[in-house]
Amino acid sequence: MSNLPIDNALEAVLFASGSPVSVEKLCEIFGAEADEINDSARRLGEKLADGMSGIELVVVDGAYQLCTKPCYADFVKKALELRKTPPLSRAALEVLAIVSYNQPVTKSFIETVRGIDSDSIVNTLCDKGLLKESGHLDAPGRPVLFSTTDAFLRCFGLETLDQLPQIDVEK
């Protein structure tokens, strides 16, 4: 397959997906090697960055996604008539911090750290797509484990969790 069809097909797949697509998944889709996918993504990113497009290629935790260029975000919001969602509460930010630095974690762990019931906050963050169920703890009752999502990374302008600020833990 020549570069052009892969490049154009990559653009089409990323546009249609609406969410990040891993290199592994793209290799599976195109029957190509990771180097070919990454080269195609680089060319696509350069093409979109030339100023003639309203979208850009972003990397989210090692996966590729097409997003609106920030300078056009207001137009897209108006066009879609998005409702303004309230900012995250202090409690929600606390829960996100606990999960992002310790994941995967149980609700019980979150509540132990916060010292207060956090059930509704965890459920709200799951509904907003910032947290997800990521398995079960191998312990009595098999409690659900929670982790952050790609939407969390995008919301906070991160590509990976490694970009979270380092914290000093008091001893």
Domains of the chain plus CATH, in order, are 3-79 (1.10.10.10), 90-163 (1.10.10.10)
| pTM, 2 dp | 0.55
Segment 122-157, tens digit of pLDDT: 999 999 999 999 999 999 999 999 999 999 998 888
Which spans in the chain are helix H? 3-17, 23-30, 34-49, 73-80, 90-102, 107-114, 119-127, 150-155
With cut-offs at 50, 70 and 90, classify the pLDDT of residue 1.
Answer: very low
Segment 16-46, tens digit of pLDDT: 998 999 999 999 999 999 999 999 999 999 9
